[in-house]
Amino acid sequence: MAETEASPAEMTGEAAPAKINLALAVTGKRADGYHLLETLVVFARHGDRIEVAESSEDSLVIDGPHADALKDGDLSDNLVTRARDRLRSHLRQSGKSAPPVALRLEKNLPVASGIGGGSADAAATLRLLIRFWNAAVSEQDLRVLALSLGADVPMCLESAPLMARGIGEDIEPVEDMACLPMVLANPGVAVSTPSVFKALVSPDNPPLPPLPATRGIAGMAGWMKTARNDLAEPALSLSPQIGTCLAAIRSSGALVHAMSGSGATCFGIYESMETARQAARQIGREWPRWFVAATETR
């Protein structure tokens, strides 16, 4: 844990938006064990936040409602620290300076929950430090750096609607998608991504259906009913609470509901932010210990 903490006035920050897989097909497996995916990804206004300030030594402070899940671990293993160190090595290789920084992570997203909090933090750290260090990094080098930190990190660099293929690095922007009113809910169980991939019965599944031409709220909800998340079944077999979470969202007035990534966070899409907020209140009353957030996609 850091010894020095800069005052908020000296800090500059970057949002680390939650990643939501609206649908996810596992379409194959590489020789190195990584799975090939086709996934439609959006990003929420809700998320973590990273702040940075000048300092005489490197430090990381973690606070926020989900900080405790990370505080016991080795901070040098945190994806924020790893992103800082990888970027610094890259810059120093070409003789550029990357002086010590005081970093603060506001951890609002549950850890190991299928909404890519760690990946979003890594991507936000890269974006923030490139700005803070006034560094020039080519698009190609940035993508390589991001992928070395995790399969989801390149897509989190974009933080806008996209279709990802490969293991997540082959990214195609999706234009003209409406901002989707959404509720995120997590029953409080951390799910290990490698365990979910291991529990998958077959890695060879059909691709997702083609996207609709009109990408309004109703259009996207209709499309999602024809799509799927191939990781839902294996995740449910490991954590049956995911079924309870999906049922709570279904009965809260969602147009459509699903699980994100490898779980356990589930989400619903609603007609309006007002219905999403009502639904979040209803789920929160019924399940006071769950993480529940009404939000909108970016």
Ligand X SMILES: C[C@@](CO)(OP(=O)(O)O)[C@H](O)COP(=O)(O)OP(=O)(O)OC[C@H]1O[C@@H](n2ccc(N)nc2=O)[C@H](O)[C@@H]1O
Ligand Y SMILES: Nc1ncnc2c1ncn2[C@@H]1O[C@H](COP(=O)(O)OP(=O)(O)O)[C@@H](O)[C@H]1O
Show which residues are catalytic. Answer: 19, 152
Nearest to 159 by CA among 130, 125, 185, 123: 123
Say whether 279 counts as a known binding-site residue.
Answer: no
What does the binding site for ligand X look like in residue numbers (CB under 6 A)? Answer: 21, 24, 34-35, 37, 39, 114, 116, 119, 150-152, 167-168, 193-194, 197, 261-262
Q: How far is the CB of 66 from ligand Y (least distance, A)?
A: 8
Residue 113 engages ligand Y in binding (rule: CB under 6 A)? yes
Say whether 188 counts as a known binding-site residue.
Answer: no
CA-CA distance, 33 to 24, in Å (whole number)?
18
Residue 264: how many other CB atoms lie within 10 Å: 28
Q: How far is the CB of 43 from ligand X (least distance, A)?
A: 12
Footprint on residues 64-103 left by ligand Y (CB under 6 A): 70, 73, 78-80
Say whether 97 counts as a known binding-site residue.
Answer: no
Nearest to 43 by CA among 72, 19, 65: 19
Partner in contact with 163, chosen from ligand Y, ligand X, none, beta carbon below 5 to 8 Å by kind: none
Site string for ligand Y, 121-160 (x = CB under 6 A): x------------------------------x--------
**Residue 31 CB contacts under 8 Å (≥ 6 apart), including other chains:** none
| Lookup: tokens for 142 | 């940035």
**Residue 114 CB contacts under 8 Å (≥ 6 apart), including other chains:** 21, 191, 193, 235, 259, 260, 261, 262, 263, 264, 265
Which positions touch ligand Y (CB under 6 A)? 70, 73, 78-80, 105, 111-119, 121, 152, 193, 261-262
